[in-house]
Amino acid sequence: MAVLLDADSPFPDEFDLSKTTAGFLRQVEDRQSFHQAIKDDCQNEVKKFIKYHPLLKLAYDSSNQSALMTAFKAGQYELYALLQSEGLCAGKNEEPSLEIEGLTSEQKTRLKQAN
């Protein structure tokens, strides 16, 4: 909504700030919960989020880390593979290939098995 107003767009019909604010807060909370579910290896929660938000391909958290990188950095390689298979990707400023170079041989093996 802020982007539209900055672009001098008109308010939508039946504009209700309380619903807009609540919707925005819910999106932020949903993304934070999604990233926490990834860290906690809660596959059902991760799958549910993907099902209800199929257009999100980065799903950044509040620190602008993509969901894919959250899975990678948390060592959740099965979820990393799942997210990739669902079309989620790393952000422009994230380099999974550089991160992979820093993995131990055991971690590389786990990642390979997950993929």
In tens, the pLDDT along 33-50 reads 999 999 999 999 999 999
10-residue mean pLDDT series, the chain (115 residues): 72 77 87 97 96 93 94 95 95 86 88 89
Q: What is the DSSP letter of 5?
A: H
10 part of a folded domain: no
Q: Is residue 106, in this structure, part of any structural domain at all?
A: yes
End-to-end, the C-alpha distance of the chain in Å comes to: 38
Q: Is residue 5 part of a domain?
A: no
Domain total for the chain? 1
Q: For residues 30 and 32, give the distance between their C-alpha atoms in angstroms, rounded to a whole number.
A: 6
Q: Is the distance from CB of 83 to CB of 114 less than 8 angstroms?
A: no
pTM: 0.80
Q: Closest Cα to residue 34, out of 98, 83, 93?
A: 83
Domain range for 25 is 17-114
- Report if residue 103 sits inside a domain: yes
Residue 12 within any structural domain of the chain: no
Does 4 map to a domain? Answer: no
Residue 3 inside a domain? The answer is no
Indicate whether 51 belongs to any domain. Answer: yes
DSSP assignment letter at 110 = H
Alpha-carbon dihedral sign for residues 115, 97, 100, 91: negative
